[in-house]
Structure 1
Amino acid sequence: MAAPRPKIKNPPDGGQSSLHRRVVDELRQLILARRFKPGERLVEERLAEELGVSRNPVREAIRVLAAEGLVEVSANRGASVTTMSAQEARETIELRALLEGHNARLATRRQDKEVIKRIEAVLTKGSLAVANGRFEQLGDLNQKFHAELAAASQNTVLGDVLKRLRDRTAMLFSTDDPDYQERTWNEHAAILRAIIDGDERRAASLAAEHVMHAGSDYLLALDLQMPWDAAAPEHARRTEIAPPRTRTPRKSAA
């Protein structure tokens, strides 16, 4: 692992539920930030030492993250970060693209001004981070952007499903490629503009294509072909920004 993480302090009131939640959140972020790579073992004793807690909250965190699909537990190897086959990755990307499109459509319809202001604030921070090359900030900002976008749809069930799908795809997508990040935040800006303009169809198309772009980069890096006309949701195929016929695989974080 890279630089040591600050240890998690026990809650002042000794509340174990609070401590457990914080260990779950911390371990989730370590996985999503790729501090632990897909397939890497998660050793309870080592994690407990790094986080400054006992093994019990670490064991509970592993159970929670296994239920979320981020961790695999087997009798032989114990716990490890989930690995996805190419087919599983494709299916997850396709489903997320479909649902992100619907989420953007609902956000456009609801026009929640307060949430839109929060999205604008995150977008400004993300664009500045890209411009200044502060890529270490972009993982959290990307999560915040999409979390606020989910809030804007005012559909909590959809938001819960999307969060799980985002967490699973976060392990696949690049985080340190300047071209990738510039494109990502330009696409974020275009999605938000369509929402503010009240264009449901365009917002849905751009949101779905945003996921398919990142997904095709990953799959192409595995020497697979992403059949845009077949795999993309219908509203993504109608987008005004046509996908290129040939794409050069970019450096992927996966």
Structure 2
Amino acid sequence: MLSTGLPQGTVPKLERPGPLRERVYEALLELITTRALRPGQHLVESELAGHLGVSRQPVREALQRLNTEGWVDLWPAQGAFVHEPTEEEADQLLTVRTLLETEAARLAAAGADAAGVAALEELCARGEAAVADGDVDLVVATNAAFHAKVMELGGNAVLAELAGQVDRRVRWYYTPVARQRGIQSWVEHRALIAAIAARDEARAVDVMRAHTEHTRRTYHDRAQP
């Protein structure tokens, strides 16, 4: 295994067509957000290029872009490293997430139809099964899909766009606590579905606020005994 340390089978396939630099950027971002590349990990251009089957130039360009966006730190004479988020960064992001998600829950309760509620129930069942199987990657992906569906049901395109901008960072912070949150997260999702199905906007807001705040507190408490 190369010193970059990517687990077998984690390197995404580079889809074609499309600009190579964009495909390399997306591949590296996916590896970071899923924590296949861990916070603080040294990123060696030549090794990443070998993993992805490309030259070093698009890797260098992707790392520079990821640095600009705060995913990668570039240190003179040391190289590139996956950014290690501070507690303050996480708190700010997860607080903003609460604001966006509670409004989405209110709008979903105001306008969701039976088909929308059924879609949420299907995603919830999928998430519960993933927890039972101990499949953390699927839990994280299904959690993201569930929240995206709530956002979609809210019907506010601007709100959905803003949520989309923070979605990958939310996944990044959620991954290390997904196992700890476990089935309780999906119990909370069930309560949210019930509020949306009942068209109870106030209840949907309260449930979503408590749900997202629980995740925020769990993240901050994760390293404590």
For this structure pair, what is the TM-score category when the shorter chain's length is used for normalisation? 0.7 to 0.9
Kept in 2, the 8 Å contact 1:86–1:219? The answer is yes
TM-superposition CA deviations, 1:78-103 (whole Å, max 9, x none): 43322222222222222211221111
Q: In 2, Cα distance between the equivalents of 1:29 and 1:146? A: 19
Whether the 8 Å CA contact 1:31–1:81 is kept in 2: the answer is yes
Give me the whole-angstrom Cα distance separating, in 2, the residues matched to 1:131 and 1:45: 39
The one-letter amino acid of 1:204's match is V
Please identify, of 202-211 and 50-59, the stretch whose mean Cα deviation from structure 2 is larger: 50-59
Residue 5 of structure 1 is matched in structure 2 by 10
Aligned residue for 2:174, secondary structure, equals coil
Helix, strand or coil at the partner of 2:54:
coil
Q: Tell me which moved more, 73-82 or 84-93.
A: 73-82
Asked if the contact 1:135/1:176 (under 8 Å) is kept, the reply is: no
Alpha carbons of structure 1 residues 117 and 85: separation in structure 2 relative to 1, 3 Å: same
Tell me the TM-score normalized by structure 1.
0.74
Shift of 1:104: 1.0
Q: What is the match of residue 212 of structure 2?
A: 211
Q: How many corresponding residue pairs?
A: 220
Aligned to 2:166: 165
Paired with 1:113 and 1:59, the residues of 2 have a C-alpha distance of 48
What is the percentage of aligned positions where both structures have the same residue?
Answer: 32
CA distance in 2, matches of 1:59, 1:115: 43
- Structure 2: tracts of 5 or more residues without a match: none
Matched, 1:201 2:202: yes
Aligned to 2:124: 123
How far apart, in 2, do the equivalents of 1:111 and 1:211 lie? 20
- 1:61, distance to aligned residue in structure 2 (A): 3.4
Given that 1:99 and 1:162 are in contact with CA atoms closer than 8 Å, whether structure 2 keeps it comes out as yes
Q: Which residue does the alignment assign to 2:183?
A: 182
Deviation at 1:216, TM superposition (A): 0.8
2:42 matches 1:71: no
8 Å CA contact 1:150, 1:159 repeated in 2: yes
Deviation string, structure 1 residues 148-207 (Cα, Å, up to 9, x no partner): 222112222222322333322333335576552211111122212211211111111211
Letter in 1 for 2:171: A
Is 1:98 the counterpart of 2:99 in the alignment? yes
Structure 1 counterpart of 2:45, which letter? E
CA distance in 2, matches of 1:23, 1:205: 41
Deviation at 1:21, TM superposition (A): 4.2
**Could you state the TM-score of these two structures normalised by the residue count of structure 2?**
0.82
Give yes or no for contact 2:152–2:160 (8 Å, CA) kept in 1: yes
Of Structure 1 and Structure 2, the greater helix share is in 2
> What is the match of residue 237 of structure 1?
none
Number of the residue aligned with 1:16 = 18
Q: In structure 2, what is the Cα distance between the partners aligned to 1:113 and 1:41?
A: 48
Deviation at residue 20 of structure 1 after TM alignment = 4.3
Deviating more after overlay: 122-131 vs 36-45: 36-45
Distance 2:167 2:114 in 1: 24
Aligned partner of 1:146: which letter?
Answer: H
Q: 1:151 is matched with which residue?
A: 152
Secondary structure (helix, strand or coil) at the match of 1:84 reads coil
* Other structure's SS at 1:172 match: helix
- Counterpart in the other structure of 2:88: 87
